[in-house]
A and B are shown apart, each in its own frame.
Chain A
Amino acid sequence: QSVLTQPPSVSGAPGQRVTISCTGSSSNIGAGWDVHWFQQLPGTAPELLIYDNNNRPSGVPDRFSGSKSGASASLAITGLQPEDEADYYCQSYDNSLSAWVFGGGTKLTVL
């Protein structure tokens, strides 16, 4: 049971827009801690995709965007491409646990 809750899977056709939600609580996202997103392609290490809620590291296409509201956050991917098929994880910090925490991950399938 992950501290942050994500849907197990989402899917979309090429060119479409998909969103992935990440729900926390008053001890993590709701406490004001930033949310970050990672992309993990099959068989590879995770890579930072979005940091501090809505910032992209250099090299990440602007098709990827993040938002945060209250105790939840979302990752949006527009213009879906086959190479976007991957697992996506949200991450934040939890006051009560004094630990960095992840969502359970969402598998994106490009139809």
Chain B
Amino acid sequence: EVQLVESGGGLGQPGGSLRLSCVDSGFTFSTYEMNWVRQAPGKGLEWVSYISESSSNIKYVDSVRGRFTVSRDNAKNSLFLQMSSLRAEDTAVYYCATKKGGTTYFRHWGQGTLVIVSS
């Protein structure tokens, strides 16, 4: 069974960096495409980034492209989001979520990690 646990959130300075992690305690991580979805306080959901099973295909929402970098380590069942040049509008709960190839929905979600960008 997929069980996703995010970590790495916290207080980040404007212009600074943070690195988020997501670990799957199950044994099927390498068979899933992975995504980051965020939710600003009191707001709706926003897809942020996608990475294919083999890391050969990567996508970002326009607002983070060039600032965020997604990566994964299948040997460690881990997904990462390197966040740089942080802005106040990046403040949100960040969820990692699985997606099976050939589908367009996010099947399993972690509990989220809160990122606050403030000086």
Contact = CB atoms under 8 A, between A and B. Distances in A.
Interface residues of A, number: 26
Nearest to B96: A45
A51 B102 CA distance: 13
Nearest to B61: A99
Interface string A89-104: 1011100011111111
B27 interface: no
Interface of B: 35, 37, 44-47, 50, 59, 61-62, 95, 103-107, 109-112
21 contacts: A33-B104, A38-B45, A46-B37, A46-B95, A46-B106, A46-B109, A48-B105, A48-B107, A51-B103, A51-B105, A57-B107, A91-B45, A91-B104, A97-B62, A98-B59, A99-B47, A100-B50, A100-B104, A100-B106, A102-B45, A102-B46
